[in-house]
Amino acid sequence: MAAPIDLELKKAFAELQAKMVDTQQKVKLADLQIEQLSRMKKHSNLTHAEIKLLPDSTRMYEGAGRMFILQSKDEIANQLLEKQKTADEKIKELEVS
């Protein structure tokens, strides 16, 4: 009678271990994603701070593949702010889950 209980306990323990390993992997992946998003946000923030110091007549280019596209200072600043907002939203989503 003790043998069936032991087998059930072993099975339940193995399942819990598998869930624990899976959860740890998910947490590690989420931490890596949060770290990457934080770096992207910081990069965008620093770039935006430098762009604000430049005069409005400065010609600015955005890299697109192997070419560069002329854009206004306001457009680039808006893109950087949008990157920061999306990074914040994704970080919050990852922290919640």
**CB contact set of 77 (below 8 Å; sequence gap of 6+):** 48, 51, 52
Q: How large is the average pLDDT for residues 82-93?
A: 95
What does the domain layout of the chain look like in residue ranges? Answer: 2-96
CA atoms of 83 and 69, how far apart (whole Å): 18
CATH number of 2-96: 1.10.287.370
Q: Is the pLDDT of residue 96 over 60?
A: yes
Classify the C-alpha dihedral 64-87-82-77 as positive or negative: negative
Determine the pLDDT at residue 7: 87
How many residues are recorded in the chain? 97
Determine the pLDDT at residue 5: 73
The pTM assigned to this predicted structure is 0.76
Distances (CA, A) of 35 to 29, 54, 75, 88, 95: 10, 29, 27, 12, 11
Which tens digits make up the pLDDT trace of 2-43? 566 788 899 999 999 999 999 999 999 999 999 999 999 999
